[in-house]
Structure 1
Amino acid sequence: MDDIEAIKQLKARYFRTLDTKDWDGLRQVFADDVVMDSTGSGGSAVTGGDTFTAYISARLADILTVHHGHTPEITITSPTTATGIWALEDLVRYPDGRQLNGSGHYHDTYEKTDGAWRIKVSKLTRLRMDIAEPVAR
């Protein structure tokens, strides 16, 4: 498999394991010193694969999420590094019935260690966030 395809599969695995709450699988997509930065969309910046996995698993425990990544722009910058930009659309449904529909981009860097690509830095930026309040019954 070529490097670009391997990076596409890595990001697909990120989306799937995040949405299915497969926290052990999610941890495997990250470099040990990953930086996950969602400050551009009202979130936090968290450093470290274990730290981020613990953070996100607690934050999303009771929240339904559906993430779609599209139109990747991947550039191999060396035999062991790459960058990528992914268009994002997501749905986040909170236990109280509120729902966020968002779109934006992930700006990633990747590193290849021991023959496997991992996410090194991921920065989420938003173009739009629509929040719907729960429907009264």
Structure 2
Amino acid sequence: MLSLQQISDRLEIQDLVAAYSAAVDSSDWDGLDAVFTPDAIIDYTEVGGPRGDLSTIKAYLARVMPEFKSFQHMTGPTQLTIRNDGATGRTIVFNPIVFSQGENEHVLFVGLWYCDTFVRVENGWRIRERREERCYMHNMPGWFVQQPA
């Protein structure tokens, strides 16, 4: 049986995963400050992006995401292990991305997992490390290649 603290921790971490999706999907790059620790490392290399600290990733997202017409992060269950003030999690993600190719619209379907390391800080839980683990990319345009940070 889970204690009230364990239930609270799980709910707070689930909210944190949702807050990441909400920030990215609304292009609120500064909203990521409430999701990650200041020293966080984020690794998008398996899906064509960079690996870097929070400021590097925010600048990358601000530059690259406007190239797409729309996008949506849909997260599924998180397999979560909590130990005191630290946790690890693996969350399933489906991320359709709409882009224009000439006069036509296409949808890139990205399936991945967020592999996260969480830490409890003074004002709640934050992500200290995120690595995106690629499962599939369907309908990838030829121009979509790794963009430098």
TM-score range, shorter chain: 0.7 to 0.9
Is the contact between residue 31 and residue 120 of structure 1 (CA under 8 Å) also seen in structure 2? yes
* Aligned-pair CA distance for 1:41: 2.4
1:128 corresponds to: 136
**Alignment RMSD (CA, Å):** 1.7
* Aligned-pair CA distance for 1:102: 1.2
1:83 aligns with 2:91: no
1:56 corresponds to: 61
CA distance in 2, matches of 1:75, 1:132: 34
Any gaps of 5 or more consecutive residues in structure 1? Answer: none
Of 34-43 and 122-131, deviating more is 34-43
1:74 aligns with 2:80: yes
CA distance in 1, matches of 2:51, 2:140: 25
Q: Per the alignment, do residues 23 and 43 of structure 1 end up closer, same or farther by CA in structure 2, a change over 3 Å counting?
A: closer
Count of aligned positions: 131
2:98 corresponds to: 93
Is the contact between residue 27 and residue 53 of structure 1 (CA under 8 Å) also seen in structure 2? no
Q: TM-score, normalised by structure 2?
A: 0.80
* Aligned-pair CA distance for 1:119: 0.9
Amino acid aligned to 1:68: M
Specify the SS of the correspondent of 2:21. helix
Specify the SS of the correspondent of 2:139. strand
Specify the SS of the correspondent of 2:49. coil
Amino acid aligned to 2:40: V
CA distance in 2, matches of 1:38, 1:107: 11
1:107 corresponds to: 115
CA distance in 2, matches of 1:126, 1:62: 21
* Aligned-pair CA distance for 1:132: 5.9
Of 55-64 and 111-120, deviating more is 55-64
Give the share of equivalent positions with the same residue, in percent: 27
Report which of the two structures shows the higher radius of gyration computed on alpha carbons. 2
Alignment of 1:9-88 (within 5 A): 9-47=15-53, 49-63=54-68, 64-78=70-84, 80-88=85-93
Any gaps of 5 or more consecutive residues in structure 2? Answer: 1-6, 142-149
